Amino acid sequence: MEQNGNPEPDEGARRTKIIIVGAGMAGLSAAYHLTKNGVTDYRILEARGHVGGRIVQIPIGSERVELGANWIHGVLGNPVYELAMQHGLVDIVSPPKPHKVVAATEQGKQVPFAMLHEIYEAYLCFLKRCEEYFVSQYLPPEGIDSVGEHIKLEVNLYLDKIKDPAERHMRELLFECLLKRETCISGCDDMNEIDLLEIGSYTELQGGQHSAAERVQFHSRTFEEVMEVIPSENLLTRHPVKLIKWNCNRKSNSEDSDSDDSDRTVIESPSSSRESSCEKTLKRHNVEVICDNGKRFLGDHVICTLPLGVLKHCAGSAFQPALPDYKREAIDRLLFGTVDKILLEYDRPFLHPGITEVLLLWEGDPDGSDDVGKNWYRKIYSFAKITETLILGWISGKEAE
Ligand SMILES: Cc1cc2nc3c(=O)[nH]c(=O)nc-3n(C[C@H](O)[C@H](O)[C@H](O)COP(=O)(O)OP(=O)(O)OC[C@H]3O[C@@H](n4cnc5c(N)ncnc54)[C@H](O)[C@@H]3O)c2cc1C
């Protein structure tokens, strides 16, 4: 068993039925379901010194703050929500705290609420129209391929009706702010990167969003519940995987050699009682996983939960044989953008007690230089209150990098 993250001495290759690569929510969830179904012959290999991946929590003052995942998106059919409910982490009795949003310009001028409401409603309508292309027979206007282009087209038509330049400008800034917010939701740099015909294929689970605001440490608490079920000796941290050899048992000229098990249900019959343990050990393994530290792990199956960003970087060298073409193409073509959270802590309450979020209406780059290094902060679309002295901003894309 690993103690304090230090690897045990190498006794040659270790064998388990299943090897799980990565101890983020996906890897831990796989381990949780295996354990709940009576399978404990697995090992989790995690690169970092801690588990959780993009679910990570830190203390700030007396608060514990989620640096990564925070919201549970949707209720119906959402396994994360079900898990949180089972362990009493969702408060469905207390009414949600009121959310009071204001929008302000760089000069500190506050936008009238009626205008904010009007633009928000119009924006939602423009976004909905983008989603409809996926289900309808209609084609978008010629030359309009992305969500960003389509929304801008509708925004321009909308703004053309407003004659007063100041009123028009304020609305324009509001639309720009909402588009920046959308890039954080979509995980992209610019909404022009999002395919117009496909955005409607994304379905949101019904039931609204649930956040740490209802019950602090929501995601981290959910994942702590998962961890309780997983035997600690099955987890090895500080084991970055560098090579996954799979299909070791398949004949190289087999018809199926270009395929894997990920789209199939793997059913195994229990091994014959007459088979000796020695015979079982001698059976050839189907999977071999090699770590940066030289350790080798053998197994029958591998569950790979490497994030898309890591796969983009290493999928070409990390698998032997190489992944099938359709998987490599999917890894290349899927977008994986950067989204960061920025937390600001103050000694004294910063925002007015009645306000929970301020939308930031930045003018264009002051020097017109497009210099991301200098003007990156103008991509932050809002600051929202976590506590009276702690506020949170989101930023995406090049500016976040
Ligand atoms: C700022 C931010 C906010 C978010 N907010 C939300 C939210 O509100 N709601 C929501 O549902 N989702 C949110 N997400 C997304 C959510 O966090 C992720 O979808 C989810 O945590 C991904 O889990 P995962 O197990 O697939 O990947 P990860 O959590 O990335 O886990 C992958 C694991 O693999 C490990 N690993 C990497 N390389 C190797 C290697 N070579 N060998 C071994 N291990 C390796 C990593 O260290 C990591 O532990 C947010 C993400 C971010 C970044």
pLDDT tens-digit map of 320-333: 999 999 999 999 99
pLDDT confidence band for 268 (50 / 70 / 90): low
What pairing do the DSSP bridges indicate for beta strands 57-60 and 63-66? antiparallel
Contact between 296 and 289 (Cβ < 8 Å): yes
| CA 69 vs CA 53, 81, 156: distances in Å | 10, 13, 35
Are 52 and 79 contacting, i.e. CB atoms less than 8 angstroms apart? Answer: no
3-state SS class at 160? helix
Q: Where are the alpha helices (DSSP H) in 187-307?
A: 218-229, 277-282
Q: CATH second-level architecture of 101-211+338-400? A: Alpha-Beta Complex (3.90)
Q: Which two tokens stand for residue 338?
A: 């950067």
Query: Ligand 1, closest atom to CA 28?
Result: 25
Whose CA is closest to atom 53 on ligand 1?
A: 68
- Report the alpha-carbon angle 264-186-377, nearest 5: 145
Does the C-beta of 207 come closer than 6 Å to ligand 1?
no
Q: What residue ranges do the domains of the chain occupy?
A: 14-72+217-305, 101-211+338-400
Does the fold of domain 101-211+338-400 match that of domain 14-72+217-305? no
Distance 339 CA to ligand 1 centre (A): 12
Instruction: Give pTM, 2 decimals.
Output: 0.83
Closest-CA residue, ligand 1 atom 6, reads 69
- Which pLDDT band, with edges at 50, 70 and 90, does 170 fall under? very high
Which superfamily does 14-72+217-305 belong to? FAD/NAD(P)-binding domain (3.50.50.60)
Residue with tokens 């996906």: 26
pLDDT in tens, 20-79: 999 999 999 999 999 999 999 999 999 999 999 998 888 888 888 889 888 888 888 888
Of the chain, the end-to-end C-alpha distance in Å amounts to 38
In tens, the pLDDT along 349-368 reads 988 999 999 999 999 877 77
User: Could you identify the residue written with the tokens 């793997």?
Assistant: 266
Q: Per-residue pLDDT averaged across 140-156, rounded?
A: 97
Ramachandran region, residue 143 (left: φ > 0; alpha: ψ -120 to 50; beta: rest)? left
Mutation probe of ligand 1 site: the residue of 54, 75, 236, 338 with most atoms within 8 A of C-beta: 54
Burial of 216 (0-12, 13-18, 19+ CB in 10 A): middle
> At which residue do the structure tokens 């703004």 appear?
159
